[in-house]
């Protein structure tokens, strides 16, 4: 693969050493959005766009990083390890180094070169891909035998502590645990999961990228988390055994949340409904009833847009334009929100025409480029060489 050859060449140029190379993918999510940190279910999958990281250990205490695509370098001594303010990409790698140290593992310095085909800020979890690649590579080089689920949690903590986004577990889980042609139905409370085969006859997953980078997302994301926590507190003041919105019903919201604050009610009601929607959607999926699954996806979008309020006009535009198109089975915004992609289940033979007509109108009305990817479902984090 050309990308691997280029990575090897850059690594050799920079460090004159032989690295290991790890591939770690981005992800999609069919349904179950903003449910992971509320202990609900999610239905993600790893995709064929990935971060590739070449890594070798050093015999001193320095970390030397290169971002090949951005043409940037960054170095730091392990003694001075802390989040970086002005550029974001080193944080995903440094955040993982910090996790090894927190576990009491003696971490030497290391060299790393990063390249990625996961578009940045498109809601496809480009950061989780880098975190998972890093934890996997260091585990391999240090032979620390850390279990995959622990690596997932280390990657999530790296995002919390070094990127400042209090994300749930979905992105890192999907990147690490993905399996070709399968969705992962993950229960974010028990961490039990099953692979659900996802071979769609004549239907493809089309991602439409608004070109709106979800930069606002991190502060709003953390706000949404707090709003959900408030709802849980209000219900649990009145009832026993309520630890998350997973334990909450709409009736409880009527009694203990709606009476206090309409906004908190709207946010938490979206989540309670979405947890149910995933369970229902999954049954449709397992019965091959894509039409009904698609309806659930549109309903998710409406909830995210009107109740959880994490959409934006570009995402709404893209979903509205395909809503009554018989070739589009389902569509919704995907990921944290405020930009990034919509995910669409579309009849394969209709994709070209659909994209062509959307593109012209989108670019005229939104004055932004519309890019698209037809994604296939691939394996999770793996050692390449």
Note the residues at the interface with ligand GLA (CB under 6 A). Answer: 33-34, 36-37, 125, 167-168, 170-171, 335-336
The distance of closest approach from Cβ of residue 104 to ligand GLA in the complex, given in angstroms and rounded to an integer, is 27
Active site residue 171: yes
Structure tokens at 131: 């975190």
**DSSP three-state, residue 53:** strand
CB of 223 to ligand GLA, least distance (A): 13
CB of 110 vs ligand GLA, minimal distance in Å: 26
**Count, residues in the chain:** 385
- Spatial distance between the Cα atoms of 188 and 209, rounded to a whole number of angstroms: 27
CA angle 123, 127, 133 (to 5 degrees): 130
User: Min. distance of Cβ 97 from ligand GLA in angstroms?
Assistant: 20
- SS3 at position 183: strand
Give me the phi and psi of 80, to 5 degrees please. -105, 25
Q: Toward ligand GLA, which CB reaches closer, 274 or 314?
A: 274
Q: Which of 59, 69, 86, 171 is catalytic?
A: 171
Closest CA to 210 of 47, 12, 372, 17: 372
Query: Tokens for 241?
Result: 């055994």
- Nearest distance from residue 380's CB to ligand GLA, in Å? 16
Convert 347-365 to b/e letters by CB count within 10 Å (16 or more is b).
beebbeebbeebeeebeee
- Compute the distance between CA of residue 141 and CA of residue 155 in angstroms, rounded to an integer: 17
Least Å distance, CB 36 to ligand GLA, is 5
Closer to ligand GLA at the Cβ: 37 or 256? 37
Pairing of strands 20-29, 44-57: antiparallel
Q: Which is nearer to ligand GLA, 23 or 34 (CB)?
A: 34
Nearer to ligand GLA, 121 or 335 (CB): 335
Distance of closest approach, residue 194 Cβ to ligand GLA, in angstroms: 19
Please name which of 222, 183, 221, 228 lies closest in space to residue 339, comparing C-alpha atoms.
Answer: 221
Distance CA 299, CA 285 (A): 16
> Residue 19 or 336: which CB sits closer to ligand GLA?
336
Q: Cα separation of 3 and 21, whole Å?
A: 11
State the burial class of residue 236 (Cβ atoms within 10 Å of its Cβ: 0-12, 13-18, 19+). Answer: middle
Q: Which is nearer to ligand GLA, 107 or 154 (CB)?
A: 154
CB neighbours of 298 closer than 8 A, spacing ≥ 6? Answer: 319, 323, 330, 331, 332
Three-state SS letters, 83-147: CCCCCCHHHHHHHHHHHHHHCCCCCCCEEEEEEECCCCCCCCCHHHHHHHHHHHHHHHHHCCCCC
Catalytic residues: 171
């Amino acid at each position: 693969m050309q990308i691997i050859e280029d990575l090897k060449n850059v690594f050799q140029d920079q460090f004159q050493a032989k690295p290991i190379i790890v591939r770690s993918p981005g992800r999609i999510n069919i349904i179950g959005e903003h449910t992971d940190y509320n202990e609900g279910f999610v239905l993600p999958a790893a995709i064929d766009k990935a971060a590739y990281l070449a890594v070798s250990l050093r015999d001193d205490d320095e970390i030397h990083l290169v971002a090949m695509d951005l043409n940037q370098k960054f170095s730091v001594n392990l003694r001075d390890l802390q989040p970086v303010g002005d550029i974001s990409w080193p944080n995903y790698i440094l955040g993982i180094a910090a996790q090894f140290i927190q576990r009491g593992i003696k971490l030497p310095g290391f060299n790393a070169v990063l390249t990625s085909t996961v578009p940045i800020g498109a809601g496809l979890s480009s950061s989780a891909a880098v975190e998972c690649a890093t934890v996997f590579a260091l585990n391999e080089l240090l032979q620390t035998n850390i279990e995959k689920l622990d690596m997932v949690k280390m990657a999530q903590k790296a995002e919390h502590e070094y990127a400042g986004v209090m994300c749930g577990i979905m992105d890192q889980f999907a990147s690490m645990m993905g399996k070709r042609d399968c969705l992962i139905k993950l229960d974010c409370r028990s961490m039990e999961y099953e692979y659900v085969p996802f071979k769609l006859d004549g239907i493809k997953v089309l991602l439409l990228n608004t070109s709106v980078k979800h930069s606002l997302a991190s502060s709003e994301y953390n706000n949404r988390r707090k709003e959900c926590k408030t709802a849980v507190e209000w219900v649990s003041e009145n009832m026993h055994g309520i630890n998350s919105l997973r334990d909450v019903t709409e009736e409880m919201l009527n009694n203990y949340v709606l009476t206090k604050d309409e906004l908190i009610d709207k946010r938490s009601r979206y989540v309670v409904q979405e947890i149910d929607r995933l369970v229902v959607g999954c049954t449709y999926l397992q019965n091959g009833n894509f039409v009904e699954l698609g309806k659930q996806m549109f309903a998710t979008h409406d909830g995210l847009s009107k109740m959880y309020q994490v959409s934006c006009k570009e995402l709404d535009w893209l979903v509205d334009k395909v809503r009554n198109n018989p070739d589009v089975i389902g569509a919704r915004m995907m990921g944290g929100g405020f930009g990034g992609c919509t995910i669409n289940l579309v009849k394969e033979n209709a994709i070209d025409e659909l994209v062509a007509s959307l593109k012209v109108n989108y670019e005229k009305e939104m004055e932004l480029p519309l890019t698209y990817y037809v994604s296939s479902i691939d394996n999770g984090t793996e050692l390449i060489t």
